[in-house]
Amino acid sequence: MKLLYQTHSPYARKVLVLAHEAGLADRLDVLHHETSPTWRNDEVFRLNPLGKVPVLLLDDGVALFDSNVICEYLDSLHDRRPLIPRERMARLRALRTQALAQGLCDAGIAVRHETVRRPEALRYPAMRDGQIEKLVASYDFLEREWAQAAGDAPVDLGQIAVATALSWLAFRELPDFEQGRPRLAAWYRRFIGRPSMLATPLTGQTVD
């Protein structure tokens, strides 16, 4: 299988970390592709009309996107403990956590648009501030309602999604999530030491 990837995408990294955790990384041919809303990559567009990575190209030619769909597919291929729990409420909790993590990435990207990516004259401070509020509220939710239980639980897709989202926020020097949140900080520091995270470092800059 071919994984169209981007070394500075938190969404793509989530897929690759899950593949490592599931013992599937050696079945993937990882191919880096630059994409952005203003940088058209024709090979990616050929497989995904949204022009985004990650895309998983299966051996039969079927292309899967986005990261949520790819993670669900990969989790069906291995015999280890499922990373998306099978029990209904555990599954819903993991998927809810993944949704929160995806929202963190979306908000962080919006902040970057309004601080470093748009021409300065076109930046909208109110949008920046509103997205930062989402980041901070989500950090507080993770500290208050999630981090302690996650520290005692087996690794699942929700944890992978949070770790890859937070590591990207730190990589891009977006608002800090560790200061004043000891449970979240302790969980994060443990998780980023996992082999799956060490094998998938974030590198590179967005091309616009």
Model pLDDT for residues 116-126, shown as the tens digit of each residue:
999 999 999 99
State the pLDDT at residue 163. Answer: 98
Residue 208, pLDDT > 80, answer no
Q: What is the assigned CATH class of domain 88-194?
A: mainly alpha
Three-state SS for 57? strand
Q: Which residues contact 3 (CB under 8 A, 6 or more apart)?
A: 12, 15, 16, 19, 28, 29, 30, 31, 54, 55, 56, 57, 70
pLDDT > 80? residue 91: yes
Burial environment of residue 147 by CB neighbours within 10 A (0 to 12, 13 to 18, 19 or more): buried
Q: Tell me the three state secondary structure of residue 3.
A: strand
pTM confidence score = 0.97
> At which residue do the structure tokens 């470092």 appear?
201
Average pLDDT over residues 24-40: 94
The region that residue 51 occupies, defined by phi over 0 for left and psi between -120 and 50 for alpha, beta otherwise, is left
Sheet with 63-64, strands from edge to edge, namely 29-32, 2-5, 55-57, 63-64
**Contact (CB, 8 A) for 118 and 38:** no
The domain limits of the chain are 2-75, 88-194
The CATH code that applies to domain 2-75 is: 3.40.30.10
pLDDT at residue 94, rounded to an integer: 98
Bridge partner residues of 3 (DSSP): 30, 56
Band (pLDDT 50/70/90 cuts) for residue 36 is confident
181-197 pLDDT tens trace: 999 999 999 999 999 99
**pLDDT band at residue 128 under the 50/70/90 scheme:** very high
